[in-house]
Amino acid sequence: MAHGEEPDDRTARGEREPEAEHVVRPGTLLVASTELVEPAFRRTVIYVIEHNDSGSLGVVINRPSDTAIHNVLPQWSNLAARPKALFVGGPVKRDAALCLATLRVGVDIDDVAGLRRVDGRVAMVDLDSDPEQIRPLVEGVRIFAGYSGWTFGQLEGELERNDWMVLSALATDLIGPPRVDVWANVLRRQPLPLAMLATHPIDVERN
């Protein structure tokens, strides 16, 4: 549990308590295991947007690029959480942008054009919608270039190899502050012994 937060606080905000094991579903995190050393996914945290019989889709939430939002989608720059950069969501369709928002507590988006709830306080944002209409409803948005995708059964195979840990997401994971190690933070809030992985060195060969 994050310091200073009681379970009732999270319930009031529509967030789930972190747990050590989960079934993959929209709103869970895929956290790269310490054994996953493929450069594209090493120490990544993926937010799962879709998971069904057709496959799975998510975005890496801890890979900011050097491209500023105001250079590619200036109308969304004010709503973008810091760092106001385009994030690399994954290796698929890098030329396409996808946007997620953390909603304000208690807002109803059922009839709001341009917003589709993914889970809890996280919603997909249509980048063709009017940012000024979205602004009162969100705490911030994150825009991703590309996404991470798996065909049917592919992710299950990676889970069987223990490439990923399936953990709960908090809505605030998407718009966390700059220069924070999201991978370590997510692990640190898990029960022991899983929390101990947060101290795993970034580069084993150098330690």
Residue 198 confidence (pLDDT): 86
pLDDT digits over 92-131, tens only? 999 999 999 999 999 999 989 999 999 999 999 999 999 9
Residue 207 lies in a domain: no
Residue 203 lies in a domain: no
Residue 154 lies in a domain: yes
Is omega for the bond preceding 83 within 30 degrees of 0, making it cis? yes
Which residues, other chains included, contact 173 with Cβ-Cβ below 8 Å and sequence gap of 6+? Answer: 29, 45, 47, 61, 182, 186
Residue 2 lies in a domain: no
Over residues 178-194, mean pLDDT: 91
Q: Which long-range contacts (CB under 8 A, 24 or more apart) does 115-121 make?
A: 118/26, 118/27, 118/49, 119/25, 119/26, 119/27, 119/169, 120/14, 120/15, 120/16, 120/27, 120/171, 121/13, 121/14, 121/15, 121/171
Residue 145 lies in a domain: yes
Range of the domain at 54: 7-196
Work out how many domains the chain is built from and give that number. Answer: 1
Helix, coil or strand: residue 91? coil
Q: What is the domain-level CATH number for residue 115?
A: 3.40.1740.10
Residue 205 lies in a domain: no
Residue 191 lies in a domain: yes
Give the C-alpha separation, 116 to 98, whole Å.
12
Residue 202 confidence (pLDDT): 62
| Single pTM value for the model | 0.85
Residue 106 lies in a domain: yes
